[in-house]
Amino acid sequence: MLRCAAMSMSIVRMLERQADTDADAPLFTFVTEDAPQAEWTRLTRGEVLTKSLEVAGGLRAAGLGPGDRLVMLCHNEPAFLPVWLGALAIGVVPVPLNTSFRGASLERLVTRAEPKAVVASPDLIDAVAHGAPLAFDTSAAGLREFVSAGDTAAVEIVDPPPGTLATIMFTSGTTGLSKGVMWTHEYLLGMTDSARAVLGHGPDDVAFTVLPLFHSQALAVTSLTALVVGGEAVIAPRFSASRFWQQVTESRATLTYMIGSIPQILWTQPPSEWDRAHRLRGAEVIPPPAGSYHAFEGRFNLRMAELYGMTDIGIPIGIPYGERRSGSCGRELDDWECVLVDDHDVPAPEGTVGELVIRPRRPWIMPLGYWRDPEATASVWRNLWFHTGDLLRRDEEGWFTFVDRKRDAIRRAGENISSTEVEDVLLAHPAVREAAVFGVAAEMGEQEVMAAVVLEQSQDVEPYELVAHCEKDLPYFAVPRFYDFLDALPRTENEKVRKQPLRELGITATTVDTGSRSRTHLDG
């Protein structure tokens, strides 16, 4: 059902309404690392509203107003959301940055954001404050000093049109340089609507996340959805494989989120008393451990939810709450139009692989483009469609299955190879903990398949054993020729594998070449 954009209420107005309904209801709880549950920091709706308006007053007194940017370099900490919401309250545009950035990469993002002020966690303020017109940190003393100059009573919450720029979220950089995605106020609400459609997120739910708040999942899908529906969000400082299920249990969570390598890491952990002690009714798991969908649900006593989403667009595809479709990322959601096309933007026949292109059915639900990057914006918007760069397959009933990133797909022996499918086969080997598959230049053109592999602790395996393992379940042209054994794969903060550094490294002195394979090689 389409929302009338003119009737949409801003996120801050929704917070105000929730606080009026029950100011003492818990809204955001922050897990204190290595501390008992009693020492976690809990913020009620009323406290979040008060703190947000105090920040708004401080920003206003410092001369910030609608459209000015506030760069945020903050950990998952109690100050994050009040600062972010306080900026929105007066039309200031918060720009959360990945806390892993340092030096030239951080300077590049800050310069591009053109901030009027920066705010950072105490241990990060020195990295970002240099040259900023105004800088303050999120320590109790730092915030107290900053907000003391403001007048909360004088703060007037702005009511922006739904297509107004709300926040700038930089992409994780898995496929290149990070780009600043310009989210509208309606985009924020659209993300919460999609989360509710897929997870059934309601007022009785407690949503637990270990992902960083500078990431769309933790900020929009978890925290803002809890705010909108009147539920509670519990936010851990970071992912811990050994403490994850204990934290889920102690938080009383009913929903949680596992993306990137988190599901596979949890699946390979030894069984624990905490595995089934929780009260989860659902979990967003993207992607599920290869070949272990139902076993994963059974071991951890939960029901998985799957969807397709990007910081750049939102969530256009998901399995509607209450429905099941193992192996699929879902159907087109109500607010979206989704089509698969070939390299010439011609619709692909049903059942074949094509690039997913999307456009909205609801006004202003899409971002406004990439901040200060018209070339990047134009490159993805072609023929009135946003090109995701992802390859999917759609069946006759409208269910989509993710195949691969378009740039991760490999071309060998005249055949297209899904790196995801090869990775799934490698991960089925008991000695393999993690795997990333990518293409490297071949001597005769096209590409050869290369695998970067991380082994389980105390495990050892010969590359030729992996070749034999792959040959049982893959066509000859998809079996990796080159293998590198690594201690860890390069990752983003939200646990996505970064293949670009692996491609750039390519074949090295430590790479094992198992020889080229052909149909003749196997038949012989």
Full-model pTM: 0.85
Q: Are 31 and 251 in contact (CB under 8 A)?
A: yes
Domain-terminating residue out of 286, 304, 322: 304
- Phi and psi, residue 426, nearest 5°: -60, -40
Does 402 share its domain with 497? no
Q: Are 468 and 497 in contact (CB under 8 A)?
A: no
- Residue 348, classified by CB atoms within 10 Å of its CB into exposed (0-12), middle (13-18) or buried (19+), is middle
Does 142 share its domain with 55? yes
Domain assignment of residue 333, yes or no = yes
Alpha-helix runs per DSSP H in 99-257: 103-113, 125-129, 140-148, 185-199, 216, 225-229, 244-250
Q: Nearest 5 degrees, angle CA 225-CA 228-CA 234?
A: 50
Domain assignment of residue 299, yes or no = yes
Domain harbouring 366, CATH code: 2.30.38.10
Q: What is the pLDDT of residues 493-518, one digit of tens each?
A: 777 888 889 998 999 999 999 998 76
Indicate the SS3 state at residue 234: strand
361-366-368-373 Cα dihedral, nearest 10 degrees: -120
Does 49 share its domain with 148? yes
What is the per-residue pLDDT for 176? 57
Query: One-letter amino acid identity for 227?
Result: L
Does 290 share its domain with 225? yes
* Contacts (Cβ under 8 Å, ≥6 apart) of 337: 358, 359, 360, 361
Does 126 share its domain with 91? yes
Domain limits for position 240 = 200-304
Indicate the SS3 state at residue 285: strand
Domain-terminating residue out of 406, 439, 463: 406
Q: What is the pLDDT of residues 125-158, one digit of tens each?
A: 988 887 778 989 999 999 999 999 899 988 999 9
Does 513 share its domain with 419? yes
- Residue 366, classified by CB atoms within 10 Å of its CB into exposed (0-12), middle (13-18) or buried (19+), is buried
Domain-terminating residue out of 406, 434, 469: 406
- Give the total number of structural domains in the chain: 4
Does 94 share its domain with 130? yes
Domain harbouring 67, CATH code: 3.40.50.980
Per the listing, tokens 């950089």 go with: 173
Assign 37 a pLDDT band (cuts: 50, 70, 90): very high
Q: Are 489 and 522 in contact (CB under 8 A)?
A: no
Is the pLDDT at 2 greater than 50, yes or no? Answer: no
